[in-house]
Amino acid sequence: MPLLDDARTLLPELVELRRSIHADPELGLDLPRTQQRVLDALAPLDLETTLGATLSSVVAVVRGAHPGPTVLLRADMDALPLAEATGLDYAATGERMHACGHDMHVAGLVGAAHLLAARREELHGDVLLMFQPGEEVGDGAKRMLDEGLLDVTGSRPVAGYGIHVVPGDYGVFSTRPGPLMAGAIEVEITITGSGGHASAPHLTRDPVPAAAELVTALQTFVTRRFDVLDPVVLSVTQLHAGGAARNIISDTAALVASVRVLSHESSARVRQELPALAAAIAAAHGCTAETLVTVLCAPTVNDASAVEHARTTLRELFGEERVWETVNPVMGSEDFSFVLEQVPGAFLFLRATPADVDLDTAAPNHSPYVLFDDAVLADQAAALASLALDRLTG
């Protein structure tokens, strides 16, 4: 298989790139050192590159020798704010770590760029390479879209693909049509009453019982207003009231909740109905409620035909046994969802736990102990390149 053979030839430099990024993680939207590493790695390929105006993104185009459509391939680049505890000799120091595999994604897409650039003569169309900051803050993809990502080649992409590494059986890909990952919504509710002395609650409008009732009501809201086959997960993660004095009833109580949804319909219902619920419960206690609902990410919804194309391509490349069905959606979130709202495409998982790590105890993504085997980078690069090649070869 020439594509896989070429990818394996690239592996040493992809590993070197991945480890340099891993040892020097950057957060959020401003990733100047990571951006420069990407530019340096792409420099020999003579690609058209565009840098972000409001974030450290890199958009690169592999122009095919023949006219045709555009296919988009994406990698995210930012790290997480936690201290690494892996003990790797290239581990990051300080309070930042690539605990979600974005360093792997960058190196894998750089590898795909090399494979595709070497095959320009085969391409009937162009490949748009999206190196994206700010996935963990949920804003990077939206900013790149706002800056004209989809118009860079002169024709909007007809398909888009991304691959995310996760723990599990080494080298296995998986995906599913329809919802793959949840949309994320953040809810902040402030209940306002009037405080007073704890010995005379009848002279106050105590916001604490209203907040306590609301915590329970939110769980009922989820189980009684949404179809169990279109699940919604709601967790109250913060609850605050009062100050230093223990005998004073506060004027306000506040709570924060994280909500995960698998459809745009459920997202709309949360945004519309949850504030009304909070207001009604607060009013029953003589209080008022102010609710701020923020959509962080849309649900990641895969196009069925793009998924079928991806499965067929990867099975031909790696064999049937390495391409699995993702049975149930994952309730975590991913901002590639905003690209998939405008481009039919597929997001996939690639399992990459090292052989010497017990799968039953392997640390998950976002853990300071998570480990990924960077030998899988050759397969990741070949998979991404093949997804584009199969759409653009005449």
Q: Give the pLDDT confidence score for residue 394 in this predicted structure.
A: 63
DSSP string, 2-43: HHHHHHHHHHHHHHHHHHHHHHS---TT--HHHHHHHHHHHG
| CA angle 379–134–146, rounded 5-degree value | 105
The CATH number of domain 2-180+301-392, selected from 3.40.630.10, 1.10.3720.10, 3.30.70.920, 1.10.10.10: 3.40.630.10
CATH 1.10.10.10, domain 183-297, yes or no: no
Q: How many CA atoms lie within 13 A of 382 on its CB side?
A: 24
Burial of 229 (0-12, 13-18, 19+ CB in 10 A): exposed
Q: Which residues does residue 260 pair with via DSSP β-bridges, in sequence order?
A: 184, 233
Tens of pLDDT, residue by residue over 60-107, are: 999 999 999 999 999 999 999 999 999 999 999 999 999 999 999 999
Q: Give the pLDDT confidence score for residue 131 in this predicted structure.
A: 98
Q: Give the pLDDT confidence score for residue 382 in this predicted structure.
A: 98
Q: Give the pLDDT confidence score for residue 1 in this predicted structure.
A: 63
Burial of 242 (0-12, 13-18, 19+ CB in 10 A): middle
E strand residue ranges, the chain: 48-51, 58-63, 66-76, 124-132, 159-166, 173-175, 178-181, 183-192, 196-197, 232-241, 248-249, 252-261, 288-297, 300-302, 323-325, 345-351
Q: Give the pLDDT confidence score for residue 153 in this predicted structure.
A: 97
DSSP string, 85-115: -S--TT---SS-B--SSHHHHHHHHHHHHHH
């995210």: which residue's tokens?
76
Sequence ranges of the chain with CATH classification 3.30.70.360: 183-297
Sequence ranges of the chain with CATH classification 3.40.630.10: 2-180+301-392
* pLDDT < 70 stretches in the chain: 1, 394
The Cα–Cα gap between 323 and 281 comes to: 49
The Cα–Cα gap between 231 and 181 comes to: 12
Q: Give the pLDDT confidence score for residue 257 in this predicted structure.
A: 98
Which of 169, 116, 109 minimizes the C-alpha distance to 336? 109
Q: Give the pLDDT confidence score for residue 138 in this predicted structure.
A: 83
Q: Give the pLDDT confidence score for residue 94 in this predicted structure.
A: 94
Q: How many CA atoms lie within 13 A of 184 on its CB side?
A: 19
